[in-house]
């Protein structure tokens, strides 16, 4: 599909469009500014014919500037911390951030976590394929999220299309910091499976909800739901093809949008989900 420049799309048309989005949570030890992360973003954007042109960075002192990709890589290599990063693809050239349709952003402001968000218009590529591409490339570079979810939502009349906007506005009133803390940070206490098998087996890690795409850690999959592991439960309920190994410590669980609510209801009975109010996105 030919990539359209977003600034030429009328607001009325934009309001009727749907995004496929992916939100990933990482712990504080993960360096999302290293070259491998930017290379993964560049390769993913190239795969959908929407090459990366610029990178906008807000540094640790709040200074904001837009760089060419190589300039940004040099800067990040010499800079321990940054607050926000926005990857600007060709389709968003000279477009206001609040009107972006395709977005790759990194929120690095929290003390104990970081998030990466990727969204593009539904129909511009096969469903969630670019998102899996990005996830695989990150995993190959040993940049592995602790948790994540992929979902669809209308663009509507947005604030910036990042995790806070896309999630709080679209599904339920929960702060991004809350879902990162509640669904990701519990993994820190589990350690490495081979080194701490008992602790790992009994570690408890919640998920926010059930989405069309769910990025799960080994801690998620090996925790017990009754007499079965979560992994075995998934394979029984949604089939062998629904669970895909992405890389070390990371798998993707795909659930048809028509079944997410019913599957979530079953997991709620096990106390595994955080969400408590009705969903408004798929």
Query: Residues 108, 192: one domain?
Result: no
Q: Looking at the domain assignment, is residue 73 inside a domain?
A: yes
DSSP code string of the chain: -PPPPGGGS-HHHHHT-EEEEEEEEEETT--TTSHHHHHHHHHHHHHTT--EEEEEEEETTS-EEEEEHHHHHHHHHT-S-EEEEEEEEGGGTT--GGG-SSEEEEE--SSSEEEEEEEEETTSSSTTHHHHHHHHHHHHTT---SEEEEEEEE--S-S-SSHHHHHHHHT-S--HHHHHHHHHGGGGGT--TTT-HHHHHH----BS---SEEEEEHHHHHSEETTEEHHHHHHHHH-GGGEEEEETTEEEEE--GGGHHHHHHHHHHTT-B---S-----
Residue 3 domain-assigned (yes or no): no
Residues 6 or more apart in contact with residue 114 via CB below 8 angstroms:
25, 26, 27, 28, 30, 32, 106, 107, 108
Separation of alpha carbons 150 and 126, rounded Å: 14
> In this prediction, what percent of the chain has a pLDDT beyond 70?
73
| Same domain as 28, residue 128 | yes
Say yes or no: 140 and 37 in one domain.
yes
Same domain, 127 and 206: no
Confidence of residue 142 (pLDDT cuts 50, 70, 90): very high
Domain boundary among 111, 145, 172: 172
Is residue 277 in a domain? no
Q: Is the domain of 244 the same as that of 151?
A: no
pLDDT of residue 82: 87
Domain assignment of residue 275, yes or no: no
Please indicate, yes or no, whether residues 21 and 153 belong to a single structural domain of this protein: yes
Check whether residue 116 and residue 153 sit in a common domain.
yes
60 and 131 belong to one structural domain: yes
Q: Are residues 31 and 146 in the same domain?
A: yes
Number of domains in the chain: 2
Is pLDDT of 185 > 60? no
Q: Radius of gyration over alpha carbons of the chain, in Å? A: 18
Asked if residue 282 is part of any domain, the answer here is no
Cα distance between residue 207 and residue 218, in whole Å: 13
Q: Whole-prediction pTM value?
A: 0.83
The residue-averaged pLDDT of 103-125 equals 86
For residues 31 and 79, state if they share a domain.
yes
Domain closes at, from 172, 204, 229: 172
- Are 145 and 199 in the same domain? no
The whole-number pLDDT of residue 156 equals 58
Please state the rounded mean pLDDT for residues 179-192: 46
5 domain residue, yes or no: no
- Determine the average pLDDT of the residues in 242-255: 95
Q: Is residue 276 part of a domain?
A: no
Q: Return the pLDDT at 48.
A: 92
Of 116, 138, 172, the residue at which a domain comes to its end is: 172
- 136 with 218, same domain: the answer is no
CA–CA gap between residue 11 and residue 29 (Å, rounded): 40
- Which is higher by pLDDT, 4 or 13? 13
Query: For residue 222, is it within any domain?
Result: yes
Domain that holds residue 138: 11-157+165-172
Measuring CA to CA, how many Å separate 211 from each of 70, 110, 151, 166, 223? 35, 25, 6, 14, 19
């Amino acid at each position: 599909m030919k990539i359209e420049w977003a600034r030429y799309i009328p607001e009325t048309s934009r309001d009727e469009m749907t995004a496929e989005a992916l939100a990933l949570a990482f712990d504080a030890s993960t360096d999302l500014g290293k070259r491998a992360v930017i290379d993964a973003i560049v390769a993913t954007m190239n795969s959908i014919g929407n090459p990366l042109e610029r990178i906008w960075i807000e540094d640790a002192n709040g200074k904001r500037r837009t760089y060419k990709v190589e300039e940004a890589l040099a800067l990040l290599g010499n800079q321990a911390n940054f607050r926000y990063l926005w990857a600007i693809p060709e389709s968003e050239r000279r477009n206001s951030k609040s009107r972006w349709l395709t977005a790759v952003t990194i929120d690095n402001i929290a003390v104990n976590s970081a998030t990466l968000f990727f969204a593009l218009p539904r129909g511009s590529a096969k469903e969630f394929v670019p998102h899996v591409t990005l996830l695989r490339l990150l995993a190959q570079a040993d940049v592995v999220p602790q948790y994540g979810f992929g979902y669809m939502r209308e663009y509507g009349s947005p604030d910036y299309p990042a995790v806070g906007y896309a999630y709080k506005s679209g599904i339920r009133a929960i702060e991004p910091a809350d879902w990162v803390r509640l669904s990701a940070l519990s993994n820190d206490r589990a350690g490495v499976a081979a080194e701490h098998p008992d602790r790992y087996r009994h570690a408890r890690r919640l998920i926010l909800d059930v989405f069309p795409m769910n990025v799960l850690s080994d801690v998620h999959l090996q925790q017990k739901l009754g007499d079965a592991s979560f992994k075995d439960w998934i394979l029984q309920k949604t089939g062998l093809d629904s669970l895909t190994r992405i890389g070390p410590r990371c798998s993707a669980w795909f659930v048809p949008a028509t079944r997410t609510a019913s599957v979530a209801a079953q997991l709620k009975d096990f106390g595994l989900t955080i969400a408590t109010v009705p969903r408004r996105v798929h």
